[in-house]
Chain A
Amino acid sequence: MTAGLIATNDFCTYHHVEFTFIDSLNEAGLIEIRVIDQKSFIPESELQKLEQMIRLHHELDINLAGIEAITHLLQRVQNMHEEMRLLRNRLRRYEEE
Chain B
Amino acid sequence: MAFIDYYKILGIDKNASDKDIKSAYRKLARQYHPDLNPNDTEANKKFQQINEANEVLSDPEKRQKYDKYGENWQHGEEYEKYAQQQRAQGNRQYSGFGGGQGQAFESFENFGGGDFSDFFESMFGGGARGGRQAKYRGQDYNAELQLNLRDILEPHKQTLTVNGKNIRITIPAGVENDQTIKITGHGGPGVNGGPAGDLYITFKIAPDPNFKRDGANLHATAKLDLYTAVLGGEVTIETLSGKVKIKVGAETQNGVTVKLKGKGLPVYKHEGQHGDLLVTYDIQMPKNLTEKQKDLFTELRKEGEK
Q: Does A85 contact B (CB under 8 A)?
A: yes
**13 A-B contact pairs sorted by A residue (CB < 8 Å):** A14-B96, A15-B97, A15-B134, A16-B132, A51-B97, A51-B98, A51-B137, A56-B35, A60-B33, A70-B36, A86-B176, A89-B176, A93-B214
State A85–B114 Cα separation when bound (angstroms): 31
Q: What B residues does A81 contact at CB under 8 A?
A: 39
- With A14-B136, A51-B137, A70-B36 known as contacts, the answer to whether A89 contacts B97 (CB < 8 A) is no
B216 to chain A, nearest CB (A): 12
B75 to chain A, nearest CB (A): 35
Partner of A90 from the list B96, B137, B214 (CB cut-off 8 Å) is B214
Q: Does A52 contact B (CB under 8 A)?
A: yes
| Chain B 151-181 interface mask (CB, 8 Å, partner A; 1/0) | 0000000000000000000000000111100
Q: Apart from A51-B97, A85-B176, what 16 extra A-B contacts exist at CB < 8 Å?
A: A15-B96, A44-B137, A44-B195, A47-B97, A48-B137, A51-B95, A51-B100, A51-B137, A52-B98, A55-B95, A74-B36, A86-B176, A89-B178, A89-B215, A96-B207, A97-B212
How many residues in B have their beta carbons less than 8 Å from beta carbons of A? 33
CB closest chain-A residue, reference B100: A52
Q: Does A59 contact B (CB under 8 A)?
A: yes
Q: Does B192 contact A (CB under 8 A)?
A: yes
Q: Are B178 and A55 in contact (CB under 8 A)?
A: no
Q: Are B97 and A59 in contact (CB under 8 A)?
A: no
Q: Does B52 contact A (CB under 8 A)?
A: no
Q: Does B276 contact A (CB under 8 A)?
A: no
Q: Are B213 and A89 in contact (CB under 8 A)?
A: yes
Which of A59, A70, A90 has the most chain B CB within a 10 Å cutoff? A59
A contact set with B: CB distance below 8 Å: 6, 11, 13-16, 44, 47-48, 51-52, 54-56, 59-61, 70, 74, 77-78, 81, 85-86, 88-90, 92-93, 96-97
State A77–B132 Cα separation when bound (angstroms): 31
Q: Are B177 and A92 in contact (CB under 8 A)?
A: yes
| Chain B 246-287 interface mask (CB, 8 Å, partner A; 1/0) | 000000000000000000000000000000000000000000
Q: What B residues does A77 contact at CB under 8 A?
A: 38
Q: Does B219 contact A (CB under 8 A)?
A: yes
Q: What B residues does A97 contact at CB under 8 A?
A: 212
A53 to chain B, nearest CB (A): 9
CB closest chain-B residue, reference A88: B178
Q: What A residues does B223 contact at CB under 8 A?
A: none
State A90–B176 Cα separation when bound (angstroms): 11
A77 to chain B, nearest CB (A): 7
State A51–B33 Cα separation when bound (angstroms): 14
Partner of A60 from the list B30, B212, B215 (CB cut-off 8 Å) is B30
Q: What A residues does B39 contact at CB under 8 A?
A: 81
State A13–B134 Cα separation when bound (angstroms): 9
Q: Are A93 and B179 in contact (CB under 8 A)?
A: no
Q: What B residues does A11 contact at CB under 8 A?
A: 136
State A78–B137 Cα separation when bound (angstroms): 23
Q: Are B212 and A47 in contact (CB under 8 A)?
A: no
CB closest chain-B residue, reference A49: B98
CB closest chain-B residue, reference A60: B30
Q: Does B29 contact A (CB under 8 A)?
A: yes
B96 to chain A, nearest CB (A): 6
- With A51-B96, A93-B219 known as contacts, the answer to whether A78 contacts B38 (CB < 8 A) is yes
Q: Are B177 and A47 in contact (CB under 8 A)?
A: no
